Amino acid sequence: MKMIDDRQSLGSAEPVTPADVRGEFRHLRTRISDRTFAAKLALWAALTGAGAALAGQPALWSRAAGMLLLGCMFAHAAELQHQTLHSLGFRNRRANTVAGIVLGIPMLISFAAYRATHMRHHRDLGTPENREFFDYGDQYGVDGGGSRWRTALTWTIRFTMLHFYVQFLACAARAVLRRDYDGESATTSRRIRRDHYLILTALLAFTLLSVVLREPVVLWVWLLPLLLVAGPVHALIELPEHFRCETLSQDAFANTRTIRSNRLMTWFTNGNNFHVEHHLMPNLPIERLPALHDEVRPRLKHFHTGYVDFFRKVVRG
């Protein structure tokens, strides 16, 4: 850490650049492991299947447990999808695309749209042009004032992910009408339409299955787990990443937050809790983020030991 420490000791206000970090910590890079990501997918598929089996049972406790497990796995799938956006799941780009498309279906996420927006987020974070794919309303907690009712409404909108579902419906409508998407190339627009066709086809298939079985399968194994569990859980995971950080600073230590947490949460968030580290080295294999964290821990400005610690401090103001 000599180079970075020297810059700080000189009192320079210049942020540490990604190039600085890549040069200093290039020894942390390892080859992407296909087996590791395949194992992650296999575990996700097994737990998702178990959740569907439980949700399909008539007993109330089984159905509730199944929907809870399914919702958590939908949220976990979005974190696995994030890995494929950066082509860090498999070494083969097409394999990442296929896996990413499948992983996005449960939460109605277009792989192509998410990837295009997310790459711009990495490029534009620290500037007024920064936009994120998931819209929680007051994304970064800039609007901290207002009455209790207004505050309660703001947090309700965040955790229900209402804006995201409205966004999905608008994008799905454009796909059906075969229209391009604002700000996207014709190729990217075509891929976004492809993803929405697949999602809409899956929704139609589950709806038809529900009609044939005379049982609302689409509700028990998809829509209710999504709305009641996956949406709020996903917001709990992703909202802290830049919330009330200095998002107009181009220094990743200032505009991003890391949450150390425990092994279970690190698995569940797929390492996305090491978010400063991810923004410092976006192409570093996910499994190496804890090693980078150990190197840069003294420099972290926005750091919490767990998600409970973060939200407790947010509530306390």
Output the average pLDDT for the chain.
Answer: 91
In terms of pLDDT, which residue wins out, 171 or 15?
171
pLDDT reading at 5 higher than 60:
no
Backbone angles phi, psi at 91, to 5 degrees: -75, -25
pLDDT at 6: 37
The stretch 187-211 carries a mean pLDDT of 98
pLDDT reading at 30 higher than 50:
yes
The stretch 49-77 carries a mean pLDDT of 97
Decide: 70 and 52 in contact? Cβ < 8 Å: yes
In terms of pLDDT, which residue wins out, 43 or 155?
43
Side-chain-side CA neighbours of 223 within 13 Å: the count stands at 11
The stretch 57-70 carries a mean pLDDT of 96
Q: Torsion over CA of 9, 11, 14 and 19, rounded to 10 degrees?
A: -10
Provide the pLDDT confidence category of residue 10 given band limits of 50, 70 and 90. Answer: very low
pLDDT at 8: 38
pLDDT at 3: 40
pLDDT at 143: 66
What pTM was estimated for this model as a whole?
0.91
Maximum CA pair distance of the chain?
71
The stretch 112-141 carries a mean pLDDT of 90
pLDDT reading at 155 higher than 60:
yes
Q: Measured between alpha carbons, how far is 286 from 83 in angstroms, rounded to an integer?
A: 7
Domain boundaries along the sequence of the chain: 32-316
pLDDT at 218: 97
The stretch 79-83 carries a mean pLDDT of 98
The stretch 271-289 carries a mean pLDDT of 95
The stretch 252-268 carries a mean pLDDT of 95
The stretch 278-296 carries a mean pLDDT of 94
pLDDT reading at 287 higher than 90:
yes
